[in-house]
Structure 1
Amino acid sequence: MSKKPKSAGPRGTGSPENRLTAAEPAELLSFLLAQLNQGRNSVKSLLAHGQVFVDGRAETKYNFMLEPGQTVIIRKERAPETVPLAGLAILHEDEHIIVVNKDSGLLSIATDKETELTAYRQLNAHVRAADPKGRIFIVHRLDRDTSGVMMFAKSEAVQQKLQNNWQDIVQERSYVALVEGTVKKSVGTVKSWLKESSTLRMYSSPHPNDGQLAVTHYKLLQAGKQFSLLEVHLETGRKNQIRVHMQDIGHPVVGDKKYGSRAKPIPRLGLHARVLAFEHPVSGKLLRFDTGIPKLFYNPFRGEK
């Protein structure tokens, strides 16, 4: 007759942590049912919510095979719920900030007329899963069809510090742009005064000091017969700045019909926020995130000699 597994703690889950030891091979669900004064659904719930640990690792499989001597811990508190993120990947998170890589097509934050899924809404749900009082705050934005690295604050104080000291805190901010035509100059700078029309379209004013000063630096990474790939650095961060300036030099961003593009060699806007490097607003530590160049951006150059 086989021996019943020994319990190294009180039966049930009345204490914050219940520690059990397997005395013989057994499936995890069967082991828990034999050891705990709880119904089958209740035990399955413990597994589903990440409250069962085998040798220190959360285990959710009913048929996980226990070996003699393994320690099983049942925690009273549920593990924080994980919120699936659509079109977003978290690159860094601490108690003050979240840094993400946003896909093309996802809004940063909804406008008055748009209430669809946004980066802001998803990240709010993410932080509230761990802390019901948690919130996130917008620091800067990316256009819906621009992909790449973004930062959000977890408090209004951190948001204000980042926004008020953005030029000093941000050490590097660069984009990659796939543009129409063959860019001749290997490096260049575009400077203009940006204004917004009544149709919400940004444009460069022909008059000095008329609008917001915008300065964009670019470096040629690859040039083809029909398209060019540029590395773009922002000295200022104005709305649609890169898109307007690329149109100004006669090389609009591919897929950007709003600002003069007639070609769509890839199924998205050819603009990606590649690098963001900044001093942490609280610790002062320098953080740098490089999301690389989307593979799609190389497609127009394939087959060219």
Structure 2
Amino acid sequence: MERQDERYDLSVPTEGEAERLDQFVARSVQGITRSAAQRLIEEGRVTVDDRLEKPSLKLRGGERVVVTVPPPAPAVPEAEEIPLVVLHEDGDVVVVDKPAGMVVHPAAGNPGGTLVNALLAHCTDLSGIGGEIRPGIVHRIDKDTSGVLVVAKSDRAHESLSRQFHDHTVKRVYLALVYGSPREDKGRIEGAIGRHPTDRKKMSGAARHGKHAVTHWRVAARFTGVTLLRLRLETGRTHQIRVHMAEAGFPLVGDEVYGGAGRINNLRDPVLRKLIRELGRQALHAKTLGFVHPVTGEYLEFDTELPEDMARIIDYLERQGA
């Protein structure tokens, strides 16, 4: 099926300072850089109150901005010799421990250096279901989240794994450091998650048309100012853990998008603040992944250790005896 244009109908907030049109479009539409926003405006794909304008137009507030984004041009990612930590591989699946900082598949802002590029060099028999741009990919974890991920190497495996993820039968366990200390030792968060109503680069529980999302959590360790949580995903929505914990009042350490930026100033320990700044990402690790092998029917489970950057923070906190 031919992909259609995506249309975004946006309202400029009436509060705040005046903002350039290209800046507003880049901030409001996920995946659009400022240069891409300028191209869309110059191509006549952006209107302000039904008029074509220049990228430099100053928005005063209250305007209606309509952005039409064409589908991306088909792309064939290139194989790149990038080191991979392979936890398991057979003729149907490959399981890897993805490092933080690696994007899963190529996109407009990340054409290379992705997990897909690395896998294409590692194995020549990846499944092509879902389009050439993301061969073998049946689920994703964020660029700045580390941990275990399974990739299909055959069409049969792709179909089976996709069905397991759709049916929420895959075991997915994460470790996260959050600010604050939950009153209870465990809990369950349930609520729809969708695109944020005003900030299109974020997800939110306040979205008009969100998808059902459930996160189970329990305290693994309590420290002064921060808590280590073990979380199990019942569903797998985009940014689910980050949204659920932030909206519960416990944003992830290092998560500048969902409220974890300013909280660092509340920590009294200067060494801990330094370690968090050096982390440079949300403190989230996909620790465990369990699924039924798509061909043999055997249940497989893979468990990964915390990466060095998160482990360094935990080690320091444990040494403090807090």
TM over 0.5: yes
In structure 1, distance between residues paired with 2:110 and 2:81 = 21
Residue in structure 1 matched with residue 314 of structure 2 by the alignment: 298
In structure 2, distance between residues paired with 1:140 and 1:273 = 12
- Report the aligned-residue RMSD: 2.2
Q: Aligned in 2, Cα 1:206/1:108: closer, same or farther, shift over 3 Å?
A: closer
**287, 297, 300: which one aligns with 1:274:** 287
Question: What runs of 5+ residues in structure 1 fail to find an aligned partner?
Answer: 1-82
In structure 1, distance between residues paired with 2:169 and 2:95 = 13
Describe how 1:1-305 pairs up with structure 2 within 5 A. Answer: 85-86=82-83, 88-128=84-124, 136-166=135-165, 170-197=169-196, 199-205=200-206, 210-262=209-261, 263=264, 265-266=275-276, 267=279, 268-294=281-307, 295-299=311-315, 301=317, 302-305=319-322
In structure 2, distance between residues paired with 1:100 and 1:230 = 23
Q: Aligned in 2, Cα 1:159/1:191: closer, same or farther, shift over 3 Å?
A: same
Deviations 1:236-276 (A, max 9, x none): 00000000011011111111000000236431320000000
Give the residue type in structure 2 aligned to 1:218: W
Q: Aligned in 2, Cα 1:125/1:84: closer, same or farther, shift over 3 Å?
A: closer
2:122 partner SS: helix
Q: How many pairs are equivalent?
A: 217
Larger mean CA deviation between 144-153 and 105-114 belongs to 105-114
Question: What runs of 5+ residues in structure 2 fail to find an aligned partner?
Answer: 1-79, 129-134, 265-272
Q: Aligned in 2, Cα 1:206/1:111: closer, same or farther, shift over 3 Å?
A: closer
Tell me by how many angstroms 1:159 deviates.
Answer: 1.1
Tell me by how many angstroms 1:167 deviates.
Answer: 5.1
Tell me by how many angstroms 1:160 deviates.
Answer: 2.0
- Residues 252, 284 of structure 2: 8 Å contact kept: yes
- Residues 288, 301 of structure 2: 8 Å contact kept: yes
Tell me by how many angstroms 1:152 deviates.
Answer: 0.4
In structure 2, distance between residues paired with 1:150 and 1:257 = 24
Tell me by how many angstroms 1:292 deviates.
Answer: 2.7
Tell me by how many angstroms 1:169 deviates.
Answer: 7.8
2:320 partner SS: coil
Give the residue type in structure 1 aligned to 2:297: G
In structure 2, distance between residues paired with 1:206 and 1:287 = 35
TM-score (norm 1): 0.66
2:213 partner SS: strand
Bigger CA radius of gyration: 1
Q: Percent identity?
A: 36
